[in-house]
Structure 1
Amino acid sequence: MQKEIASSLWKKWGPYLSERQWGTVREDYSSTGEAWDYLSHDLARSRAYRWGEDGIAGFSDDRQSLCLGVGLWNHKDPILKERMFGLTGVEGNHSEDVKEVYYYLDATPSHDYLKMLYKYPQAAFPYQQLVDGNRTGKESPEYELVDTGVFKEDRYFDVFIEYARPRPDDTLIEATIVNHGPEPAALTFLQQLWFRNTWSWGNNDQAKPRMQGVDSIGLEIHHEALGHLYFHAENPDDLIFTDNESRPEHRLGSKPQGYWKDAFHEYLVHGNSKAINPNGQGTKCAALHRLKLEAGETRKLRFRLTSQKAIKPFEGFDETFQQIRNSADRFYGHLQENIESPDERLIQRQAFAGLIWSKQFYYYDVEKWIAGDPGQPAPSASRHHGRNHEWLHLKNADIISMPDKWEYPWYAAWDLAFHCVPFALIDTEFAKEQMLLMLQESYLHPNGQIPAYEWSFGDVNPPVHAWGAWRVYQMDRKRNGFADRCFLEQVFHKLLLNFTWWVNRKYVDNRNVFQGGFLGLDNIGV
């Protein structure tokens, strides 16, 4: 099978970054529970996240210890583009809404090949215009990025990002930038690497990881869990360094010396050379390319992350990349051999890409979140009887299929059951793992309730988990010729507990009438 898709070695790395960590319940330490207001898109630039990371074309290990993502600046934007922009639940006329143009183009279940496209305007990104344009009633259509006129005359860059992995511990990265505009245009491209901040909270006994620039190999990476890794950039204009730590004035109102999360923004947009670490070390790094593309010009940039030192890291790069693309074609060719229409094959393949790219490392320990961290100010005491206070057993740190990594970057259990059915067509092991995950002790409530979603784990959603598990079992048996009754038995015993919860809590007057709950069709990503 495709790279032995059940192998945990191949799935150690994948597209596991969120596209929005800001504005989530996990990052909300307010006394009011207004998650959208506590950590905004603007603050995300300079404040280290507690429970996860986000990025453009994000890639990480399965514990999100080391993250990779793209940074872009067109020399006109007021901020460095490091994450997707969108409207909050309050700002959007139809609630939260990402205001970017990007596409998941291809992916394999083993993550040995991934491809996506981000379209970056050459004019200043219209942040305020998008906010103002959506101050209309719910009866009005949404005001999108294309409506602002920034793509007129094709004045934009196509930024294709591809990952190819010849081995589980060797990742080739190729960025292809195309100037579609009628005139030359400047673009600063950053291939960024950074560690998720695990050291600022006062409750971690791991050594602080570090990155160090080394002339002979490019970048040497040291992490207690990952060991030694090496990053290479082909002919970058510079390697720049900072730390993935909060700028203190946002948190404490002071300005001590240091290197902060927003250093690359300060360095490029504001010309502040003191923002970056001159010693070539830190917990966040970027290989920087200053490009000037002629009208219609295409430029390729190449990078490599590997566990082995390489004297010639880009030797055979193109050939290896093409071999992995061909392998992906063979995998889908076999899977789709009974689909005659090329258009239908492309639609299905890109739909699978959307599923695979929507995997995310989800980290949330409710008990720690309510109590706060030793190294931080104590949260409001109201949290002890506020959101999710009855779910202190919930300790999540897993790769989970998201409804949408920007609009819904948190699992929704009833959505997940539907995700697992198409996943079973390409990766039955992952589908079964996801169905079992929601039934583990660190998810399932002791009373038998399956957690709904982080805004309110106690909400009641449609009871579709048993249906999803049965469909996955049937599809697995048909696809692989083996009836995994062990999986079915595991699911069955936990679902008996869930059924008992339904019987005890959701029947009215013993008349077997469902009492009601919450059903959000808008949670489903398309």
Structure 2
Amino acid sequence: MTAEEQRLHDDRDKKQNWRLWGPYLTERQWGTVREDYSPHGNAWEYVSHDAARSKAYRWGEEGIGGISDDKQHVCFSLALWNTKDPILKERLFGLTGNEGNHGEDCKEHYYYLDSTPSHSYMKMLYKYPQEAFPYNQLVDENRRRGKLDPEYELLDTGIFNDNRYFDVFIEYAKADTNDLLIKITVHNRGNEKATVHVLPQIWFRNTWAWGYDAYKPEMIRDEEDVIQIHHKELGTYYLAGEGEPGVLFCENETNVKRLYNVDGTGLYKDGINDYVVNGQRNAVSTQHKGTKGAFHYELSVPAGNSQSVSLRLSGKYHVDPFKDFERVLKQRVSEADSFYGSVQNGIADADKRDIQRQAIAGMLWSKQFFYYNVAEWLKGDPAQPAPPEQRLNGRNHEWKHLNNSDIISMPDKWEYPWYAAWDLAFHTLPIAMVDPEFAKHQLILLTKEWYMHPNGQLPAYEWALGDVNPPVHAWATWRVYKMDEKLQGGKGDRKFLEEVFHKLLLNFTWWVNRKDNNGNNIFQGGFLGMDNIGVFDRSAKLPTGGYIEQSDGTSWMAMFTLNLLRISLELSKENPTYQSLATKFFEHFLYIAGAMTNEKIDLWDEEDEFFYDVLRTPDGERTVMRVHSMVGLIPMFAVEVLDQELFDSMPEFTERAIWFLENRPDLANLISRWTEKGKGARHLLSLLRGHRMKRLLKRMLDETEFLSGYGIRALSRYHLDHPYVLRTGGTEFKVKYTPGESDTSLFGGNSNWRGPIWFPVNFLLIESLQRFHHYYGDDFKVEHPTGSGNMKTLKQIADDLSERLISIFRKDANGRRPVHGDFEKLQTDPHFRDYIPFFEYFHGDSGRGVGATHQTGWTGLVAKLIQPRRKKTQ
């Protein structure tokens, strides 16, 4: 057992709280829904990047490479000043949804390089220009550009030309659960000596200004120039800085004069900024105390050299805090290497190992303390002005029960600094590779009564808690359960499985009662994460009236049903009463399968041999929307293979299943070769009979349609030259293949399902092919790619798709990584080329990264695709 594994065991068994401190600060609190108290929900405008340095936040804190305790009482992060910027670099900069020509867009270069699950060791890199940061230039140029223009990036400004920048590495190592070593190393990549001010900052989240608790914690400088931190709940901590830095203090209070032109006296949140940048000596405390403090280092770094700053944040007072600093730091680095050496055992390719480790690091760094009490947020705080009355009937007003205050996995801590239910489900798989306890905790969390709506709906995300995400929670629960079972030597966590299963029964009932318009087992889920893939915004009322019978919504529900069937059968092994629930889901799956092929509905188009959505208008008109999209491939996700021995051990379930199949032959015929046992005496449950699956695969594996060199496109390339057009009510609606950024302002403007490669659906397609192969075996072969004449097993196709997805990040024969696109500096510079950004999605033709730059969340699934190459058995 490695040292890191021992820490995880001790934390699980509550012997030591190794998770007390972690990377729980967000990268962006400004522009979030929680901090928005505007009348009409204008979150991006209510707190801007410019206002952020002066406004005390209500619900959370932000910072570059920051950490906090698990309730975010005390926060630590890094601030920098290159002597040219108009403000301290305390937070990452980016464009709001209204400023970017393709929506919100972070304009920084930063990388999460390493982390153990307990955060005993973490490493991050931030690239800081030596010239004035081009804030206005980025805003003005992107605002000038249209949807058809490329985004204007930080590299485009020339700010990194001649390597005039600092590489700032931030490392954390835990000497104990409450004893953190911090090392900041600044490399001057330029050709001339350059000065940088390094300001490690520590502060209290403001909990005293809202009218609930007047207690105000305090930090002071002692006679040894150590910052003493006193908090009634967290206790006393000491922050020591190596050398003889200056020590500065202000208050984490809103600067009402700057923001609102209201006269006020005292010290404010932006005091350290005003002191360092503007020389305002009265902006910081003369008494060396406050609620926000910083050490002030001024480093003059020679060209091509580096300098380091060391700090120690500890719950213990150390007479000589840096005596064993380097030894402990090196030990934690070595332990991290040992841990990942165990995780990656058998992966020979060094580039793949590096990609996987950075992907997992991004997952672990993207944890965040998420605090949101909707009832308090709606009504406002006693010590603050009352919010506008419109809020009471505005965003999230139907979720007054929701009260979140936990460490949660985020999709991206800058662009999506809030949890998303279906994103989080995908996060748990790569997380479970290294930390199954945290993965299980996340899945349980969203089903708790202070998250889940009383009606059974899971909260979608902060921007609209009531929106509808694909029901993938049961799938993730089963996958994490099986991964954990394998890691625990065959012992599954039945308590976890049972607890989530019971809550998912409520969620399933919500879907059946709320999203089946006519009670005929055809579902109209709404958004389902894919609105830009289709003709209409499915979260809004249709311009035609009526509703859409969704191929994807119905297929997601079929998948959900099979997931619950599989879980109930597993629980039946120890409690036979679950067999009756297994029977219920077995029959419900057949009802959904029957509905999809019902002649009055029939989402399968026999002429095109593809699944389509169907538009139903109020006058009864039925319109098949012939869009070649991921919507038509999602029926492949609903597949389960059951071994004969399972039926032999479940007499009640087996008896009822046989009776149902004999008495409903119309439905029995829909299950591919049910009476014919496949490889190893297995039975297949699927929406697709063999013929239909082959027809779907023919289109999916066609390089002129869905198959890209980098995975499966969300929309067929066929629609590049053949856009789908629907004319109704005097209006024309069009769907055209766009492989990269969105060319439309529809559906939010920055969302693009119209061609790019998305990891979550690609991952589910790969898993589905693996399950189909588990049933059919090696004798079942399909042409891959279509038209090539090469016949491949379904497993070989799944393996090939995995390699295509991985290749987005890998060096090709010329040493170039597709993810970096055409930026030559990213491709060739030794200080850029091997740092991997895990984008939200990827260009459907080139593999270039598109969308949010750090959505490691679901793109982190690449870590799960990278597996040891196993020897072939004879």
Assess if the C-alpha contact under 8 Å between 1:359 and 1:401 holds in 2: yes
Q: Which structure has the bigger radius of gyration? A: 2
Partner of 2:492: 483
Q: Deviations over 1:134-166 (max 9, x none)?
A: 121222221111110000000000000000002
The 1-side partners of 2:529 and 2:520 are apart by 26
The 5-angstrom pairing of residues 100-111 of structure 1 reads 100-111=108-119
The 5-angstrom pairing of residues 179-258 of structure 1 reads 179-204=188-213, 207-216=215-224, 218-250=226-258, 252-258=260-266
The 2-side partners of 1:516 and 1:498 are apart by 13
Partner of 1:494: 503
Q: Deviations over 1:81-109 (max 9, x none)?
A: 10000000011111111000001010000
In the TM superposition, residue 269 of structure 1 has moved relative to its aligned partner by 1.3
Structure 1 stretches lacking a partner, 5+ long: none
Give 1:380's match in structure 2, choosing from 388, 397, 401.
388
The 1-side partners of 2:134 and 2:239 are apart by 34
Aligned amino acid, residue 506 of structure 1: K
Structure 2 counterpart SS, 1:299: strand
The 2-side partners of 1:124 and 1:307 are apart by 38
Assess if the C-alpha contact under 8 Å between 1:18 and 1:360 holds in 2: yes
The 1-side partners of 2:213 and 2:526 are apart by 39
Give 1:514's match in structure 2, choosing from 503, 523, 526.
523
Partner of 2:588: none
Which structure shows the higher strand fraction? 1
Give 1:364's match in structure 2, choosing from 372, 383, 406.
372
Give 1:158's match in structure 2, choosing from 129, 150, 167.
167
In the TM superposition, residue 417 of structure 1 has moved relative to its aligned partner by 0.2
In the TM superposition, residue 184 of structure 1 has moved relative to its aligned partner by 1.1
The 1-side partners of 2:153 and 2:469 are apart by 31
The 1-side partners of 2:264 and 2:494 are apart by 60
Structure 1 counterpart SS, 2:155: helix
The 2-side partners of 1:486 and 1:435 are apart by 13
In the TM superposition, residue 217 of structure 1 has moved relative to its aligned partner by 5.8
In the TM superposition, residue 216 of structure 1 has moved relative to its aligned partner by 2.5
Assess if the C-alpha contact under 8 Å between 1:402 and 1:412 holds in 2: yes
Assess if the C-alpha contact under 8 Å between 2:23 and 2:67 holds in 1: yes
Q: Deviations over 1:356-403 (max 9, x none)?
A: 000000000000000000110000111111110110000000000000
Q: Deviations over 1:279-304 (max 9, x none)?
A: 10000000010111111121011000
In the TM superposition, residue 250 of structure 1 has moved relative to its aligned partner by 4.4
Assess if the C-alpha contact under 8 Å between 2:21 and 2:67 holds in 1: yes
Q: Deviations over 1:306-346 (max 9, x none)?
A: 11111111002111110110010100111111111111111
The 1-side partners of 2:195 and 2:452 are apart by 51
Partner of 2:778: none
Structure 1 counterpart SS, 2:341: helix
Partner of 1:5: 8
Aligned amino acid, residue 497 of structure 1: L
Aligned amino acid, residue 161 of structure 1: I
Give 2:339's match in structure 1, choosing from 313, 331, 339.
331
Alignment of 1:433 onto 2:445: no
The 2-side partners of 1:251 and 1:308 are apart by 39
Assess if the C-alpha contact under 8 Å between 1:106 and 1:113 holds in 2: yes
Which structure shows the higher helix fraction? 2
In the TM superposition, residue 423 of structure 1 has moved relative to its aligned partner by 0.7
TM-score in terms of structure 1 length: 0.98
Structure 2 counterpart SS, 1:301: strand
Assess if the C-alpha contact under 8 Å between 1:236 and 1:287 holds in 2: no
Assess if the C-alpha contact under 8 Å between 1:48 and 1:197 holds in 2: yes
Aligned amino acid, residue 100 of structure 2: G
Structure 1 counterpart SS, 2:7: coil
Structure 2 counterpart SS, 1:5: helix
The 1-side partners of 2:48 and 2:244 are apart by 32
Alignment of 1:293 onto 2:296: no
The 2-side partners of 1:460 and 1:433 are apart by 22
Partner of 2:156: 147
Q: Deviations over 1:98-133 (max 9, x none)?
A: 000001010000000000000000010000111122
In the TM superposition, residue 4 of structure 1 has moved relative to its aligned partner by 2.3
Give 2:354's match in structure 1, choosing from 346, 349, 368.
346
Alignment of 1:75 onto 2:78: no
Q: Deviations over 1:463-507 (max 9, x none)?
A: 100001010001111111211111111011000000000010000
The 2-side partners of 1:261 and 1:150 are apart by 29
The 2-side partners of 1:43 and 1:281 are apart by 24
Alignment of 1:407 onto 2:383: no
Q: Deviations over 1:1-50 (max 9, x none)?
A: 51422516100100000000000000000011100000000000100000
- Identity, in percent, stands at 57
The 2-side partners of 1:469 and 1:4 are apart by 24
The 1-side partners of 2:389 and 2:150 are apart by 41
In the TM superposition, residue 255 of structure 1 has moved relative to its aligned partner by 2.7
The 1-side partners of 2:510 and 2:245 are apart by 60
Give 2:58's match in structure 1, choosing from 33, 50, 54.
50
The 2-side partners of 1:97 and 1:204 are apart by 37
The 2-side partners of 1:256 and 1:384 are apart by 31
In the TM superposition, residue 204 of structure 1 has moved relative to its aligned partner by 1.8
In the TM superposition, residue 256 of structure 1 has moved relative to its aligned partner by 2.0
Assess if the C-alpha contact under 8 Å between 2:470 and 2:529 holds in 1: no
The 2-side partners of 1:101 and 1:215 are apart by 39
Assess if the C-alpha contact under 8 Å between 1:230 and 1:308 holds in 2: yes
Structure 2 counterpart SS, 1:134: helix
Partner of 1:443: 451
Aligned amino acid, residue 328 of structure 1: A
TM-score in terms of structure 2 length: 0.59
In the TM superposition, residue 66 of structure 1 has moved relative to its aligned partner by 0.3
In the TM superposition, residue 252 of structure 1 has moved relative to its aligned partner by 4.9
Partner of 1:138: 147
Q: Deviations over 1:196-235 (max 9, x none)?
A: 0000001125x21110100236111100111111110011
The 2-side partners of 1:422 and 1:158 are apart by 28
The 2-side partners of 1:517 and 1:64 are apart by 36
In the TM superposition, residue 251 of structure 1 has moved relative to its aligned partner by 5.4
Alignment of 1:393 onto 2:401: yes
Structure 1 counterpart SS, 2:8: coil
In the TM superposition, residue 246 of structure 1 has moved relative to its aligned partner by 0.2
The 2-side partners of 1:69 and 1:58 are apart by 4
Partner of 1:31: 39
The 2-side partners of 1:490 and 1:501 are apart by 18
Aligned amino acid, residue 495 of structure 1: L
Structure 2 counterpart SS, 1:460: coil
How many residue pairs match? The answer is 525
The 5-angstrom pairing of residues 266-277 of structure 1 reads 266-277=274-285
Structure 1 counterpart SS, 2:19: helix
Q: Which moved more, 1:69-78 or 1:229-238?
A: 229-238
The 4+ residue runs of structure 1 with deviation greater than 6 A are none
Structure 1 counterpart SS, 2:58: coil
Aligned amino acid, residue 4 of structure 1: R
Q: Which has the higher contact order (CA 8 A, sep 6+)?
A: 1
In the TM superposition, residue 435 of structure 1 has moved relative to its aligned partner by 0.2
Aligned amino acid, residue 437 of structure 1: L
The 2-side partners of 1:171 and 1:433 are apart by 25
In the TM superposition, residue 520 of structure 1 has moved relative to its aligned partner by 3.7
Partner of 2:124: 116
Aligned amino acid, residue 207 of structure 2: T
Partner of 2:803: none
